[in-house]
Amino acid sequence: MHPYSERRARLIERMGSGVAVIATAPERARNRDTHYGYRHDSYFYYLTGFAEPEAVLVLVAGDSPRSILFCREKNEEREIWDGWRHGPDAAREKFGFDDAHVYGELDAKLPELLANQPRLHYVIGEDAAWDQRMMAALNAVRAQVRAGRQAPSELLDIRQPLDDMRLIKDLHEQALMRRAADISARAHRRAMQATRPGAMEYEIEAEILHEFRRSGSEAPAYGSIVAGGANACVLHYVSNDAELHGGDLLLIDAGCELGGYASDITRTWPVSGRFNAAQRDVYQLVLDSQTAAFAEVKPGARFIDYHDAAVKVLAQGMLDLGLLKGSLDEVIDKGDYRRFYMHRTGHWLGMDVHDAGEYRPRGGGPNEWRTLEAGMVLTVEPGCYIRPADDVPEAFWNIGIRIEDDVIVTADGCDIYTAAAPKTIADIEAVMAEARG
């Protein structure tokens, strides 16, 4: 069975009964009569593999399960201007739907599909126009009550079961994510080789984007962060327009999207090609904290465990470097380490760079966290960001370091998808020296 058909069948089984309606994303105007590059809705694409706009998936659960696609009709004139369309017939055959109709027929057919169904499942509250459309369909069924038709009495958010499904990556997803990670690793290596004092951040970003596209990626998975010097201490820096200076570090957080799946890598390296003593100390500290975090990514561990492992190493290192004072327990309990490390050590990764899925079990207490399972993909990204201050040794000023890799939970630990991106001090300096050689 095709992976998309298999996912639809699993979701129908989870639904038990009722009808699910899942729309793809609309096209968005950029200015006047031009649009932003189109990107499908992740939930819709996860279940269909269908990348065209103006499309809706309807799933009917129960004794006679069905999957129905509504999509754009064939139109020779529009295809001359905008490109080829599948149309309902070709889409039904290629993507394995039980039926397919023209998108313009959705509003007329929805009341028929909802009649006498106990539940309506859809993405509640995401889009006001869709909420109104669903309410209009329900009211159309209620208007037929004297004909013996009943409207669904329950509204359920389809995202909850889909989030759980999306957390565990199947073999098709794993293969795409590994390829995306390989492309992004090559892009980071290319950026290291291109880095020189006097270059602009956007020039290095261009090297990243070039490698993404030449390797078949559709687009960046998110806005790239290319941050030299003090800019690396701004967690979501995206201006990417400053000059790079010898003696500074360059932090790049960038990953490509391939086949609808994201990669997410951060590497930090010296603009001049060699770390100075203070940079080396902080970099090795962050790298050691990541190694400690990797050891806690395994089935049965809590999501928070690998963050806690990284924090313990980072906090001790901050004490050893003179950035903090006190005991290890004190700086962790009081949260003093957050002055230099203020974010979580990772997140789910998949179709979205911050992917679907809850981090805590529903109904759990404040200290309960999701348990890791084989097939989950997540990032491991400790960091240390040191802004100038009177109580901070000047040698550490404006050092901003993050090291981020993408990992999949395996049966007995984890596998690092992004290991090909140079990461040790020796490897980074060797790659940069070779490019200048």
In the residue annotation, 264 being an active-site residue is answered as yes
In the residue annotation, 355 being an active-site residue is answered as no
CA pair distance 373, 115, nearest whole angstrom = 39
In the residue annotation, 172 being an active-site residue is answered as no
> What end-to-end distance do the CA atoms of the chain give, in Å?
52
Contact partners, residue 15, CB within 8 Å, separation at least 6: 59, 61, 119, 121, 161
In the residue annotation, 296 being an active-site residue is answered as no
Q: Which of 32, 33, 329, 391 is catalytic?
A: 33
CB count in 10 Å sphere of residue 124? 15
The DSSP secondary-structure symbol of 146 reads: G
Q: Which of 66, 343, 344, 360 is catalytic?
A: 343
Q: Are strands 256-258 and 261-262 parallel, antiparallel or unpaired?
A: antiparallel
Q: Which of 385, 405, 417, 429 is catalytic?
A: 385
Q: Which of 207, 352, 355, 381 is catalytic?
A: 381
Q: Which of 146, 236, 362, 436 is catalytic?
A: 236
Q: Which of 248, 404, 406, 429 is catalytic?
A: 404
In the residue annotation, 236 being an active-site residue is answered as yes
CA pair distance 412, 374, nearest whole angstrom = 8
Q: Which of 41, 182, 257, 264 is catalytic?
A: 264
In the residue annotation, 98 being an active-site residue is answered as no
Tell me if residue 238 falls in helix, strand or coil. Answer: coil
In the residue annotation, 343 being an active-site residue is answered as yes
- Helix 171-194 to helix 425-436 angle, to the nearest 10 degrees? 60
In the residue annotation, 385 being an active-site residue is answered as yes
Cα distances from 164 to residues 188, 326, 348, in angstroms, run: 32, 42, 12
In the residue annotation, 41 being an active-site residue is answered as no
Q: Which of 333, 354, 373, 434 is catalytic?
A: 354
In the residue annotation, 402 being an active-site residue is answered as yes
CA pair distance 196, 177, nearest whole angstrom = 31
Q: Which of 41, 201, 205, 253 is catalytic?
A: 253
Q: Which of 101, 133, 307, 402 is catalytic?
A: 402
Query: Which residues are part of the catalytic machinery?
Result: 33, 236, 253, 264, 343, 347, 354, 381, 385, 402, 404
